[in-house]
Structure 1
């Protein structure tokens, strides 16, 4: 990779050994790594080193992220030799089976176009609106059960994870008796030490479940996919891949965002007070929390052509890592970006990505976050953290999150 020629008197680009190194550690639960600001100061598109020493481009600017993510030269081909790996754990997914598992999220057009068209009907606003009453009912029951059981709890264990797992199970049509196992399989998938085995186990489970649904159909989204196979519009291999994508689209990131949303609002009591005073603010507050928290640390691409952007030249074959948490704090797009403001016009945040690979489960995630937060704070008005924020254990894995959320009331 090369940068455009520097203007006279401009310092030369640093040698690769002196480049900042990824990944960078997030220390505050609701702020990106402090080093991201230093990266942006170097340029909205700048060079960094991966953990293995390879140089890649890091994109921190909001406008540059939108432009590049929608650029036709951006490829998600994980098997390109220069495809970036933001964290070491992702190297475990460089296997043929993992390529099959990640078919939808790691394919380029035209194959990706067909796959997304096949699966998008499962996540329409109409579909999600149809299950919203059940999400509200489940959230209310979990909150009431938590309060009835005592005066303190780990909110992750008794509210957040059960809610997200039950919603996903209901949406997909997972049998009730399998839901504990299903929850375990899906959360193991985001443990860097278990990611390969967990993905394989989850795929095997879904394969067996889909076979059963061919003879005993239900009413979930997986049953809709089985119907497409019977009609000849999908084949068996595609069916399993799509089932896995439906799981990926609705689990860990949503759970982590709910948990961190609770913590963030408890740490910003003036914002929480405004939400309690005016429930009409919740919808916008959800978007602001998505921007503010931005849990996915790095989205990878490889360029299939030379691109001029942000004062640099990205060469064909160069790796690119999008640091969307940094782009969501770009002051060129958001005034006072490091402040939480539930009144902010935040519709252009990048927490779901941008372009053809934008998160397919975003409609579901928005509804779950809205219902989970609104219900919890309505039914447990005296909720508080049971431990200082800096003593709460966090997870630095594939998706940033909390390992626990001790609360009391």
Structure 2
């Protein structure tokens, strides 16, 4: 039959592998191989490192459709890892909302959604402005050069999460030390693991304290819910990781991208009110959460093909956000572009719960940084900036910057 679905892309030979890495001199662009596959077909069969025959989705409409389709599971243990053969993937840790499905996921999300409203995030804007000013003042007093990750991009979201979760002021220095290790030493798995363990133990003690003496913050509020101690502890650790690593890397990599695009930097500096639109475009253009997976719970017909039950689909969010069928001239950073609808925060029931907080932090921090230091520039060649090419969240390990003294 002419319209009968097939299980392999038209005109294809061997199943594709997942193109990885960044092309030389293009730290902000996905590898060209992803775009080439997207032009061939937005959904192609893919051979996984463990031998599994699954799929790779690169087109915007295709990726968005999979995100929204309840016939695809987010459970880690049902998936095959696309980057290396790591053996069976274990289930999500307790409290990790990204690796579970409804109704378990629904239970967590309903409890949290009222804590992440636009109104409540706006209330945190004043605090974000105060924290940002404090770190800009410290940078100005100390002078350049500095590592922007350590001096600015990492501590702002760390302290904002402290505000949200209700970490006492006396504990915030050690909280930040653990967070800094996890962000800036991500290549040292032993150090990062030790910091995560210490943070988990601290979170368990904090939850116990808030159960005994409830406070007016997210963890304090949730002690009145039906979440168990382990669930609330795990959820606190999950929210830290989800909100810290992503926003810290967006602030640092976003600044790097602006310094590499001086016309766009000048545009934002001249019109700070452009910040909300600029943040959406940076999210689209950079797509630091670049790849995710789903597993088919049943046979699904999509794009004229059949994804069989149990097959993993790898979704290249970075390729989808550079799809010219959705975003004209997608490889050009255009801060006044209407980039709404980008998939940088995901889509569907797993769309990033903390996206409004992330927006507040980026809309405050980036414009304030470039306004405070009009001569801000890299303090090392762009090619020497260490990139997080092997990480699930893309970004920079460090970003050396400097400026002219006033």
TM-score of the two chains, using structure 2 as the length reference: 0.90
User: 1:45-64, CA deviations, whole angstroms, 9 ceiling, x for partnerless residues?
Assistant: 11223333433211111111
Matched, 1:394 2:387: yes
Between 199-208 and 363-372, report the one with greater CA deviation: 199-208
- Tell me, in whole angstroms, the C-alpha distance in 1 between the residues paired with 2:77 and 2:90: 9
**Distance in 1, Cα, partners of 2:61 & 2:178:** 37
Distance 2:229 2:136 in 1: 40
Taking the aligned partners of 2:152 and 2:7, their CA distance within structure 1 comes to 55
What's the counterpart of residue 209 of structure 2?
A: 212
Pick which of 374-383 and 182-191 moved more. 182-191
Change (3 A) 1:189 1:23: farther
Deviates most, 380-389 or 233-242: 233-242
Task: Quote the residue 2:322 is aligned against.
Answer: 329
1:292 to 279, 285, 295: 285
Q: What are structure 2's unaligned runs of at least 5 residues? A: none
Number of aligned residues: 394
CA distance, structure 2, for counterparts of residue 290 and residue 359 of structure 1: 13
Of 130, 135, 138, which residue of structure 2 is paired with 1:137? 130
Q: Residue 75 and residue 188 in structure 1: after superposition, are their counterparts in 2 closer, same or farther (change >3 A)?
A: farther
Deviations 1:129-185 (A, max 9, x none): 111101101101211210111232111111111112111112211122322332343
Q: Which residue of 2 aligns with 1:60?
A: 58
Report what 1:379 is aligned to: 372
User: Whole-Å Cα distance in 1 between the matches of residues 177 and 47 of structure 2?
Assistant: 34
Equivalent residue, structure 2, for 1:4: 6
CA distance in 2, matches of 1:93, 1:128: 38
Instruction: Give secondary structure in 2 for the equivalent of 1:360.
Output: coil
SS in 1 for 2:172: helix
1:340 aligns with 2:333: yes
- 1:43-82 alignment to 2 at 5 Å? 43-80=41-78
Q: Is the 8 A contact 2:19 2:31 kept in 1?
A: no
Output the aligned Cα RMSD: 2.4
SS of the residue aligned with 1:299? strand
**Among 354, 361, 370, which residue is 2:363 paired with?**
370
What residue is the counterpart of 1:277 in the other structure? Answer: 270
**Residues 281 and 343 in structure 1, CA contact (< 8 A), matched pair in contact too:** yes
**Quick one: distance in 2 between partners of 1:44 and 1:138?**
43
The Cα shift of 1:214 comes to 2.4
Asked if the contact 1:21/1:51 (under 8 Å) is kept, the reply is no
Q: Contact 1:92/1:196 (CA < 8 Å) preserved in 2? A: no
The 10-residue stretch of structure 1 (33-42 or 355-364) with the greater mean CA deviation from structure 2? 33-42
Q: How does 1:3-402 map to 2 (within 5 A)?
A: 4=6, 11=11, 13-16=12-15, 19-21=16-18, 23-25=20-22, 28-80=26-78, 83-88=79-84, 91=86, 94-95=89-90, 98-102=92-96, 104-186=97-179, 188-189=181-182, 191=186, 193-194=189-190, 198-226=195-223, 228-229=224-225, 233-396=226-389, 397-402=391-396
Q: Is the 8 A contact 2:46 2:53 kept in 1?
A: yes
Mark the CA change 1:241 to 1:207 in structure 2 (over 3 Å): closer, same or farther: same
User: What is the Cα deviation at residue 320 of structure 1?
Assistant: 0.8
For the 8 Å contact 1:156–1:405, the answer to whether it is kept is yes
Shift of 1:95: 4.0
Q: Is the 1:77–1:107 contact (alpha carbons within 8 Å) kept by the matching residues of 2?
A: yes
Is residue 84–residue 301 contact of structure 1 (8 Å, CA) maintained in 2?
A: no
Provide the rounded CA distance (Å) in 2 between the counterparts of 1:188 and 1:316: 40
**Deviation string for 1:301-328 (max 9, x for gaps)?**
1001111212321111110111100000
* Deviates further, 177-186 or 304-313: 177-186
Q: Is the 8 A contact 1:22 1:86 kept in 2?
A: no
Give the CA deviation at 1:234: 2.9
Checking the alignment, whether the CA contact within 8 Å between 2:55 and 2:311 is kept in structure 1 is yes
Q: Secondary structure at the match of 1:183?
A: helix
SS in 1 for 2:81: coil
Q: TM-score, normalised by structure 1?
A: 0.89
CA shift digits 1:268-299 (9 cap, x unpaired): 11111112222221110110000000011211
1:203 and 1:240 in contact (8 A); partners too = yes
Q: Distance in 1 between matches of 2:84 and 2:198?
A: 21
Structure-2 separation of matches of 1:113 and 1:216: 28
Partner Cα separation in structure 2 for residue 95 and residue 146 of structure 1: 43
Equivalent residue for 1:404? 398
1:14-49 alpha-carbon deviations (Å, 9 max, x no partner): 234xx3245444653321122211221231011223
